[in-house]
Structure 1
Amino acid sequence: MVKTQVNRWLIMATGMLMMTVAGTIYLYPDYATALRGQLNFSIAESARIGTLLNLGAWMTVIGGIFYDRFGPLRTGLIGAVTTFVGYFLMFLAAQERIIHTWIAVGFYAFIMGQGSGWMYCVALNTSVQNFPARNRGKIVGLLACCFGLCSGIFTRLHAGFFSESDGSNGGDIAPFLFFLAVTTGGLGLAYTFFQQILTETTVTQKPAEARRVAAAYAIALAVATYIAASSISAAFSSHDDSRPLAVGLIVLVFSLLLLPVGSGPWLRFGRQAQYTRLADDHEHHAADTHKLPPSINVTATSNAPTKTHYTLLEAVTSLDFWLIFLVLFFGVGAGICIVNNLPEIVISRLPPSEAGRVIASSDVPHSKDSSTLVALFSVFNTCGRLLSGYLSDAFAHRISRLGFLVMGSLLMGAVQVYFMFTSIDGMYGAVVLLGIAYGSFFCLVPALVSEAFGMATFGATFGLQGLAPAAGSEVFGTAIAGRLADSYANHAHLTVITKSGDKVIHCIGAECFRYSLLCTAGGCLIGAGLALWMAYRQRRGTANTLKLHAS
């Protein structure tokens, strides 16, 4: 049959753009306070909605299996439509047109999260298979960084075009939710048509490929820098220039479409077979492996049989799979605990004199800090993904990805302690480290999974790993942090009256989150220990799957 073949760099560019609309799960803290005020949710109930949102986004095993079977087009179409439906239901709930209990809203958020996860699966899996193993860390880093940038992008769009629905002043959040439904669903649908696994790849010279990868890095860093600068400007400037800054950001984001310029025809028409999975890049890996120094080439000393592809069942029944799962559970769960509760953590650090007061939402001290911190988290979440992707490739002969995973877990644990004792002003530095640590997980783990278990069932295998952040979010963010904050709010709280007359209770005092952060810090230490054990098993050649890669 005659079929259009898409330029590999156009696939990459639209995949990165797809990620910029798929990552709105990290945007939840930006509108959670407004939604909570409109629908009278408690802190724990609001946290549970965030947990269900994360559960939907990371429980992508069904999407992964579907992708492995039917390819990117059908998977992306379902993801885009599902995202639209989820946000549209949340929009109706915010207007109280449909059932709007926290359970119902959490279900709508779960639907939206599922769509987000399916689009993530399409963008990541497709480009990973279209590029050689030598650049896998960088490619994963670029795609993952755009997923992380998404919340920063939409935070600035929220501030620029929907200031009246800003959560800090108690406005109506429904118009912004409708905007999210249309943009994420519509753009996701458009980008899907350019996602294609190439059954025949043209060999690209390394210098030319390296230049384009460097250009993609430059654009991603430019977007991150722009978001950081505009967020800081909005927080500390009395002049409102949010709208022109938002327009400039849109132009900058779409400059990613310049990536394929000069790389040949964007579309080719010709005969092409049905959807066929590319073989794993083991040829590239084999070519690279024999070049490793003897002290690093663990394949030569391992007694375990060499295997380049694992079935889903073989992957799930391996020890390495569950060790990676637990590292994600502790590390990412700790990060989500802070991200989803960030507005409440900011308010909890207000002076004790604020306890017992009843104030209007427009008079809440440090009201702009929450949105600014969410945007900065997005920026440095991006930097963490880019940095870990670049460094794990550049130092592959000296430090394995597992070594970087140990460092990411330790940094995440240090961040939990930092948040336990810092002031509101100090949170700016804490969020920088939080973003870097958090982002590193979502670059390192996809690359680890692809290398450990092969590409044959990568979508399903990584989809199962996505359950770990969702479980960590529920345990740390809701069951521990949300309930403790509600409990301490009975002793000291600030009552905020929204524009619609609703009352929102906020916990005041460092105790509100101190003990939950202590729990997450301990979890990160356990995660670091597990990653270190994996690195030790890998070096000794006793790991069943990770034995192929340098440590």
Structure 2
Amino acid sequence: MALQWLSMVGAIWLQSINGTNSNFPAYSSELKRMLSITQPQLNNLAAASDAGKLLGWLSGTAAAHLPLWIVLLIGATLGLIGYGIQYLFLINQISSLSYWHVFLLTVLAGNSICWINTVCYIVSIKNFSLDRQIATGLSTSYIGFSAKIYADIVDAVAPNSPSERAKLFLLLNSVVPLGVCILAAPLARDVHVGKSRKLAGGYICMFAITVITGIYAVITSLGQKILRFLHPSTNVIGVVVFLILPLAVPLSEKIRETLQQKCLIRVHDEGASATSMENGANVEDGENLSKFCEESVEEIGVKLMLRRVEFWLYFFAYLFGATVGLVYLNNLGQIAESRGCSGTLALVSLSSAFSFFGRLIPSFHDYFFAKSKYMISRPAAMACMIMPMCGAMFLLVNKQDIWLYISTAIIGICTGAITTISVSTTTQLFGTKNFGVNHNILVSNIPIGSFLFGDVAALLYNRAKLSGEDNCIGQKCYQTTFIIWGLLCFLGAFLGFILHYRTKKVVIT
């Protein structure tokens, strides 16, 4: 079991650096200035990172035929090229890049995220097959920690110049994932463990570490002005400590296994009896699996999946839910600038921290309420998480900065939760055999929504700005956009509930 937890630690490290696309608001204004582009063109760059998901199925196909460490290195290399060349452009080492060059590089960088995500999902599903929702939620929650990690490093290293900070973000985006992929590749692998439920102590410990990490992220994000006495490098040290802490779980498990092995050697007869008791316990575990794990799930291929009404309900519920939230977060830099809010980086860090908790909520719920009357289906859970986003979008119509922070936190937590819920929804509706391809086809709605919803927002932004001005300033810039996004979220929740009623005999509640 120590190897199981070690594989989760590897997935945690990979996810913690894999949110490079969430850093786009931190350097978007600099790209806009360097390329001399319009707001719609800038929005298309934001969507280009998501457009890489259109080819995400390639990572799923590769993972089915190649060792996971090779899949990781391919993803990291794509990111190194995509972000690295943009970095060289910002520091004037490359002067011949056009807008379309940057667009294609951003697509490439966005696709790199799919490769790393696919490995993390496969590790969680295979190594924790009886608790895949819990394991996936624990590991993927750390992608919400990603923007926080990059922001803290930039705060500690870069001067106050926005230009220098933008350059450093792109540099980190290009080299950090490669370094961590090399470090985590030996850990993030299929360890071929048996199906046992004797992981309760590890889950409790991992939950505690993850919750404390999330609290740290929220406090340091909200308290940047309050905690001025702390040097920025202190936050970086804190981040490193909290990323090392999960190693305590496999380490303690290894110590327990070693001590148990010694006891079995000393008392051979009692060891044989204990082995028999353990086998009996495993049988009992198998008989008492939670309902959502004991149900046999039909394995469905891509062609059959695309012919099912349930897939399209799922696709559009996600499109009008999590994807709308991601579009909002991609435009956070421009939204803050239009409202005259100077805390763009704080907002990015805040959304990241609350996304961290959002991704953890489904795992927490499944672990503690799996057999209770409070357990609801995945589609219903998705719909319930979309509904608060409706209110958050309408709150943004208010021009006070406090509502910008509150709404960003709500959208971050709900978007993160839906992202985690979708992983187990895909496996329960369509099985695990073709998960790598099936799920990447589902999330292809993200680039579609990014272009569609983002372009509408950009057009409304341009219409609201005064003649002759480069940027739109004022509440009017995004007011109509927020109303449209809120209505789309309402539609997404409605479709989620329809999917729940159509699949409640399939998706265990």
Q: How does 1:458-469 map to 2 (within 5 A)?
A: 458-469=435-446
Which SS does the other structure have where 2:223 is aligned?
A: helix
Which SS does the other structure have where 2:187 is aligned?
A: coil
**Is 1:315 matched up with 2:305?**
yes
Match for 2:360 among 348, 363, 386?
A: 386
Q: Which amino acid aligns with 2:52?
A: G
CA distance in 2 between counterparts of 1:336 and 1:218 reads 28
For residues 331 and 436 of structure 1, do their structure 2 counterparts lie closer, same or farther at Cα, with a shift above 3 Å needed? same
Deviations 1:289-330 (A, max 9, x none): 8x86xxx9998xxxxxx7531122222222212211111111
Match for 1:445 among 422, 429, 439?
A: 422
CA distance in 2 between counterparts of 1:109 and 1:349 reads 27
Which SS does the other structure have where 2:253 is aligned?
A: coil
Match of 1:196 in 2: 189
CA distance in 1 between counterparts of 2:164 and 2:73 reads 33
Equivalent pair of 1:30/1:371 in contact (CA under 8 Å): yes
Does 227-236 or 258-267 show the bigger shift?
258-267
Equivalent pair of 2:394/2:483 in contact (CA under 8 Å): yes
* Corresponding residue pairs, total: 481
Match of 2:508 in 1: 550
Equivalent pair of 1:6/1:266 in contact (CA under 8 Å): no
Match of 2:99 in 1: 102
Equivalent pair of 2:322/2:418 in contact (CA under 8 Å): yes
Task: Give the CA RMSD over aligned residues.
Answer: 2.9
TM-score by length of 2: 0.87
For residues 233 and 42 of structure 1, do their structure 2 counterparts lie closer, same or farther at Cα, with a shift above 3 Å needed? same
For residues 287 and 519 of structure 1, do their structure 2 counterparts lie closer, same or farther at Cα, with a shift above 3 Å needed? farther
Equivalent pair of 1:260/1:266 in contact (CA under 8 Å): no
Match of 2:401 in 1: 424
CA distance in 1 between counterparts of 2:169 and 2:490 reads 39
Equivalent pair of 1:148/1:381 in contact (CA under 8 Å): yes
Equivalent pair of 2:159/2:165 in contact (CA under 8 Å): no
Q: Which amino acid aligns with 2:432?
A: M
> Structure 1 regions of 5+ residues with no counterpart?
268-282, 300-305, 351-365, 494-504, 542-546
Match of 2:459 in 1: 483
Equivalent pair of 2:154/2:165 in contact (CA under 8 Å): no
Which SS does the other structure have where 1:117 is aligned?
A: helix
Q: How does 1:519-538 map to 2 (within 5 A)?
A: 519-538=484-503
Equivalent pair of 1:381/1:436 in contact (CA under 8 Å): yes
Deviations 1:388-433 (A, max 9, x none): 2322454445411222111112112221111122421222211221
Match of 1:68 in 2: 64
Q: Which amino acid aligns with 2:420?
A: C
Q: Which amino acid aligns with 1:525?
A: F
Which SS does the other structure have where 2:471 is aligned?
A: strand
Q: How does 1:67-466 map to 2 (within 5 A)?
A: 67-96=63-92, 97-133=94-130, 135-165=131-161, 167=162, 170-171=163-164, 173-201=166-194, 203-205=196-198, 209-236=199-226, 239=229, 241-264=231-254, 287=287, 308-350=298-340, 366-367=341-342, 369-396=343-370, 398=373, 399-466=376-443
Equivalent pair of 2:73/2:178 in contact (CA under 8 Å): no
CA distance in 1 between counterparts of 2:38 and 2:480 reads 19
For residues 240 and 344 of structure 1, do their structure 2 counterparts lie closer, same or farther at Cα, with a shift above 3 Å needed? farther
Equivalent pair of 1:311/1:457 in contact (CA under 8 Å): yes
Deviation at 1:41, TM superposition (A): 2.9
Match of 1:279 in 2: none
For residues 518 and 297 of structure 1, do their structure 2 counterparts lie closer, same or farther at Cα, with a shift above 3 Å needed? same
From the two aligned structures, give the one with the greater helix fraction: 2
CA distance in 1 between counterparts of 2:346 and 2:416 reads 18
Deviations 1:114-152 (A, max 9, x none): 11110011012112211133x222212112211121112
Equivalent pair of 1:36/1:42 in contact (CA under 8 Å): yes
Equivalent pair of 1:310/1:457 in contact (CA under 8 Å): yes
CA distance in 1 between counterparts of 2:61 and 2:444 reads 14
Equivalent pair of 1:95/1:174 in contact (CA under 8 Å): yes
Equivalent pair of 1:409/1:527 in contact (CA under 8 Å): yes
> Structure 2 regions of 5+ residues with no counterpart?
258-282
Match for 1:48 among 17, 28, 44?
A: 44
**Is 1:19 matched up with 2:12?**
no
